[in-house]
């Protein structure tokens, strides 16, 4: 089983719709969680950190479910510019500070 798994997609989303997807992780000792965004042929950029209580940043909402070992990202009112690959990142101190990336979920927002 991969350490961090994501549905590769693509998720085809009509503009203005809501899309949500999850990321599962295998190491129960994982302590930090992030979502990064990667545009085609560009470097990943931090979208948001994921806190235990869940957090929201504009149209983006991230949740953490420790019991089931997954994090989620929800995008409301999707814009064409939201088209990208969303990478889930997990860090566990037991893993020697190695941040492990999921394979990414591709989202395509269409007019």
Partner 1 sequence: EAGVTQSPTHLIKTRGQQATLRCSPISGHTSVYWYQQALGLGLQFLLWYDEGEERNRGNFPPRFSGRQFPNYSSELNVNALELEDSALYLCASSLDRAISGANVLTFGAGSRLTVL
Question: Does residue 100 belong to the site contacting partner 1 (CB under 8 A)?
Answer: yes
Contacting range for partner 1; rule: CB under 8 A; set: 11-19, 42-50, 60-68, 74-82: 42-50
Residue 79 Ramachandran class (φ > 0 left, ψ -120 to 50 alpha, else beta): beta
Residue 16, CA distances (Å) to 64, 78, 86, 93, 109 in order: 25, 5, 18, 39, 9
Nearer to partner 1, 32 or 72 (CB): 32
What is the rounded distance in angstroms from the CA atom of residue 108 to the CA atom of residue 105?
A: 10
CB of 51 to partner 1, least distance (A): 10
Site of interaction with partner 1 (CB under 8 A): 31-32, 34, 36, 42-46, 49, 87, 89, 91-93, 95-104
């Amino acid at each position: 089983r991969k350490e961090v798994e994501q549905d590769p997609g693509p998720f085809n989303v009509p503009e203005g719709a809501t899309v949500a997807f999850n990321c599962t992780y295998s190491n129960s000792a994982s302590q930090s969680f992030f979502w990064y965004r990667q545009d085609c042929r560009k470097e990943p950029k931090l979208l948001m950190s994921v806190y235990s209580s869940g957090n929201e940043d504009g149209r983006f909402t991230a949740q953490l479910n420790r019991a089931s070992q997954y994090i989620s990202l929800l995008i409301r009112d999707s814009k064409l510019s939201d088209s990208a690959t969303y990478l889930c990142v997990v860090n566990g101190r037991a893993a020697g500070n190695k941040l492990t990336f999921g394979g990414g979920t591709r989202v395509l927002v269409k007019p």
